[in-house]
Structures are given as structure tokens and as C-alpha cells.
Structure 1
Amino acid sequence: MDFNFDAYHQFPLIDRSFLNIIRRDISKIAEAHNFTEAEVGRVSLVVTEMATNLLKHTGTHGGELLVKPICQLNGKTCGIELLCLDNGPGMSDPLRMMEDGVSTFGSMGQGLGSIKRQSDFFDIYSQRGIGTVILSRVYRKGNAPKSGARNENKFEIGAVMVPKQGEHVSGDGWGIRLAHQGAYLFTLDGLGHGEHAHEAATAALQAFQQQPKGSPSDMLRGVHSAIKRTRGAVGAIAHWTADAGTLRFCGVGNIGGRLLLHDRAKNLLSYNGTLGMSMPNTINDQHLTWERGNIIVLHSDGLKSRWDFQKYPELTKHDPTLIAAVLYKDNTRTTDDTLVVVVRATD
């Protein structure tokens, strides 16, 4: 299982003159993580096709590429993840558009098929009037997950974290601790943005990793005590267990949360307060059902709160990172760091 805790490198594509710069900078990221020349070439081809599609289809609507190394829980870099966020008209039949020679633009129509061939993992979501998001993962040799490998933890997780424009680090953060047939997920937002917010988030994540595994509310109390010398943060912890079919949640501050059940959505409620500064004397866990197909979405206030999954038919069937990217594309405020984490129960 891959865990991607770092923020993405953001590459807005304004016009064709930026293409070579973006391709060069992304190639340098791959080279810095020991990709071979051939592997860097694959990444460069994916970037070229993604950027070309953006230039063809977005016009004045705009688009961007998001790129980051994929790291496993032990910190080892195993690949590069690329997201193409297209605010253009979208496609009514994206699977057909992936066939070579099929195009909505009158070109040769080889872009999507080429991206898929160069990728070890590929996913796409597109709707008319919404735009398109493409997800590609290119792994170093021998590091791609084995197809059909059993998921012992019984969940899938993905996240999109992007710093405020002009910042080099994110004041948002997230971390995970595996547990029997489940996990503890901590999602947080250091107050403000920039270096000091990043320091607060880092301290909170370190405190979370050191807490005894218990109830989310008890773990939040421990984090609160540990980060009193920082500027503080808001945060939430979700703990799910597949065999028991339960989800426990507790949050302090304005971390947004929603549990998507098969027939409805349920808001995850947080207490007023700030970790490291002030929080209620009494906080308790929210107890919910957790079963196959359920989805948790947790996000910082860099994402608008009024997003609605009904706007995106069939989106819940896609990779969790792609789900997070679609929500980010359409709902980011751009005035703050943005974090969206998506978890899906697989058994």
C-alpha cells in the first residue's frame, strides 16, 4: 500500500511557452528520486500528453498539473504520481476517447491512450460541463504494487494536499497508523499558512504517532497537550475497524468531514476549539457504521464545504486519490492550503 503524505508540486499551465519548463522541472523531480533515464522518459511522455490535452481543451478555463513522489510507509520512494486537472468542457464518453484515433478536437486523438500505456496505474473521470481529471502513476522498476494483491487492512486511501499559491510548504497535514483490519487517520490544519503553520502541523503529526492507540478523543487530548508551544492546529481523528464494522470519529475545530453511506451522506461533527490552545473539557467520539463501499471524506477549510457528490455520477467507483482531486479541482478556495483525504472500505 502506498502512502502519500507530502504536498503536491503545482504546475499551472498558462500557455504553450510553459510546456518545456514544466516538463524539465518534473523530470528533475523524477531524477532526484533515482528514476532511471528510461523511467524519466516515461514520466516526461505522460507530462507532455497531459499538458498538450490541457492546452487543447481548457482554453480560458485553465488547468494545472499536480505532481509528487509516491512514498511507502517506510519512506521509500517507489514512484511518481501525476494529476491533470482540466476545467474544459469534459467528455460524455471518456473510455471511447481513450481509443487511438478518437478525438473531440479534430486531432489524431492519441493522447489519452498514450498516457495509459506509459502508466503503471491510470484512472480518469470526465463529465460534460464539469471537466476532466486524469490520474497516472509511474513506478520505478520492481516497485509497482502487484495486481490483485490482497488488501489486509481492508481499505483504500488517497489524498490531495496543495499549499497556498506562493508557499513552498503546506500548513495542512495528515498521517495514518495501521491497526488490525483498519487504521487511525489524523487530518489537520495548522493555523494560518506558511512555515509556522507547517511547524505546528508537523508537531501535531509527531504527537499523533506517539500517542497510545485508544479512542480518537483521548488521542486528540494527547496531541493538544503536546503542541502547546506551537501556534496550534485544528484536527480530527477517524478510527475504523473492518471486522467490527465500526467507525469512531472525533474532531476539534473546522476540519470538514462526511461519511458517504450506500443511500445517504452523514456529516462528521467536530467540537469548537484549537488543539494546542483551547478545547472543551469534555469531548466524545461519534460512533458510526463502517462497511464495504462506505467512504470517508475529511478536508481542511481550504476546500469549500458545500460540495455535493450528486454532481458527480459514478465518481465513488474511482480511485480515492482521483476522487479527492475532483473535489479539489471544483471546490478549492485558492486562498489557503488545501487538503482532501478520501478513504473507502473494501471489505
Structure 2
Amino acid sequence: MLEFDVAEHIQAIAYQIPKKGNVYNGDSFFMTVTDDYYICAVADGLGSGEHAFHSSNTIRQEVEKNHDQEVDVLIDRCNQVLKNKRGATISILKVHFLQKTFTYSSVGNIQFILSCPSGRFIYPLPILGYLSGKPQKYRCETFSYEKGSKFIIHTDGLEIPSIKALASSTGSVEEISNNLEIYARTGKDDLTYIVGQLF
């Protein structure tokens, strides 16, 4: 588990567990925060095991090296580095603190939801498919967010009955993560989730 607690702007927790019986987790993630922005990327390599890990980890490394770039540039770079690899689904979130906006893009089955204190939910739809180095369409959307908004990003290894209710709960980031962890223990698939709150 990896946790950021930057009281001025964001608190975030990442949790990861491999499929039962596997040494390698086919999911990878990266997140970091600067004075100006927070960025996280979650990638799910196709299949499971070592080859899936290598694909998703290639994405993690690319975002880590270039996290100062905008989301549309990053997702295209990630597609390019997957040429001749197995392929992966991807989700990138970049939050700009000064503007109180975030940009999000996703290809594949990684889920994202943001819950605002006013009761508004934002859940951009991903583009179908996966990155593999071949020409791919992307959709990058930018939204405003309210102070206190909470978000959840997770790979398809996590099955939650009501993610809306969890994202909009009054619980802390730690409490939401603890609730998600209960659903994470089935071991049916590789799993990664990130929970955060924006201030």
C-alpha cells in the first residue's frame, strides 16, 4: 500500500494485490504530487503473470519519466512504447490544483468515479480496446472539481456492489480504502485501486 498525505491539496492511497497463486501482478500504477499537480496512472496488462506485468510496468515507467506532460501526450507515448508487447488497458488522471480541474483519459476496462460534496458524480466513459502500439483513438476530458471531492480508480479485479455509495460516503480516504480491501480479497484477478480526496 502506498499513501500520500499532502494536506494542502490531496490525500491518496493506492492498494495492489496479485491474482491468487501468481508472483507477478499484471497491474501497475504510478502516482506523484508536485506543488502544481497530482498525477496517477493505472495500467492492466492483458492476461496475467509476467508478460502482463511487463506491459503494464512499461506504462508505469513511461508516465514516471514524463509526468510533467499533459494527459493526451502521455497516453500516446504509452501506446508507442507498447509496440511488440502484449498490450494493456490504461487510465491516467491529472489534477491541476490552481485551476481546480482534472483531466482524465482511459482506454479499456479500468473504472473511475469522482464524487463531489454537492452530490454531483463524474465518471467519464473509457474508449473500448487496449493499447498495443497500433493507431488508437483517445478521449481526454477536463472537468472542474469541488473542494472535498473524492475519487476511486480501480482495475477490473475489483467488483463492488455500489461504488457510487462508497465514493460519496462521509468516510475518510482510509475508511473507504478499508471497505474496498474487503472486496479485494477474493484473489480471482490482479487488482489495483487508488482512493483519493482533493482539498
TM-score normalised by length of structure 2: 0.87
**Whole-angstrom CA distance in 2 between matches of 1:213 and 1:224:** 17
Gap runs ≥5 in structure 1:
5-69, 73-144
C-alpha distance 267-326 of structure 1, shift in aligned 2 (>3 A):
same
Root-mean-square deviation (CA, aligned residues, Å) is 2.6
Correspondence 1:177 to 2:28 = no
**Whole-angstrom CA distance in 2 between matches of 1:224 and 1:339:** 20
C-alpha deviation, 1:341, in angstroms: 0.5
Equivalent residue letter for 1:203 = T
Does the 8 A contact of 1:180 with 1:241 survive in 2?
no
C-alpha distance 293-307 of structure 1, shift in aligned 2 (>3 A):
same
Correspondence 1:151 to 2:7 = yes
Q: Which structure has more helix as a fraction of its residues?
A: 1
**Whole-angstrom CA distance in 2 between matches of 1:296 and 1:268:** 12
Structure 2 residue matching 1:317: 3-state secondary structure: coil
**Whole-angstrom CA distance in 2 between matches of 1:218 and 1:189:** 19
Q: Identical aligned pairs, as a percentage?
A: 22
Structure 1 residue matching 2:62: 3-state secondary structure: helix
The C-alpha deviation readout for 1:169-227, integer Å capped at 9, x for no partner, is 21111101333332111011111111111111211111112236232122100011012
C-alpha distance 316-169 of structure 1, shift in aligned 2 (>3 A):
farther
Does the 8 A contact of 2:150 with 2:167 survive in 1?
no
Counterpart in the other structure of 1:303:
158
Structure 2 residue matching 1:268: 3-state secondary structure: coil
Structure 2 residue matching 1:304: 3-state secondary structure: coil
Correspondence 1:344 to 2:160 = no
Paired residue for 2:15, among 151, 160, 184? 160
Does the 8 A contact of 2:110 with 2:153 survive in 1?
yes
Correspondence 1:194 to 2:49 = yes
**Whole-angstrom CA distance in 1 between matches of 2:136 and 2:12:** 30
Does the 8 A contact of 1:297 with 1:340 survive in 2?
yes
Equivalent residue letter for 1:317 = G
Paired residue for 2:126, among 270, 282, 287? 270
Does the 8 A contact of 1:213 with 1:219 survive in 2?
no
C-alpha deviation, 1:268, in angstroms: 2.4
The C-alpha deviation readout for 1:106-144, integer Å capped at 9, x for no partner, is xxxxxxxxxxxxxxxxxxxxxxxxxxxxxxxxxxxxxxx
Paired residue for 1:335, among 183, 188, 199? 188
Counterpart in the other structure of 2:171:
317
Structure 1 residue matching 2:59: 3-state secondary structure: helix
**Whole-angstrom CA distance in 2 between matches of 1:316 and 1:167:** 35
C-alpha distance 172-321 of structure 1, shift in aligned 2 (>3 A):
farther
The C-alpha deviation readout for 1:5-63, integer Å capped at 9, x for no partner, is xxxxxxxxxxxxxxxxxxxxxxxxxxxxxxxxxxxxxxxxxxxxxxxxxxxxxxxxxxx
Does the 8 A contact of 1:160 with 1:321 survive in 2?
no
**Whole-angstrom CA distance in 2 between matches of 1:270 and 1:243:** 26
More displaced, 154-163 or 207-216?
A: 207-216
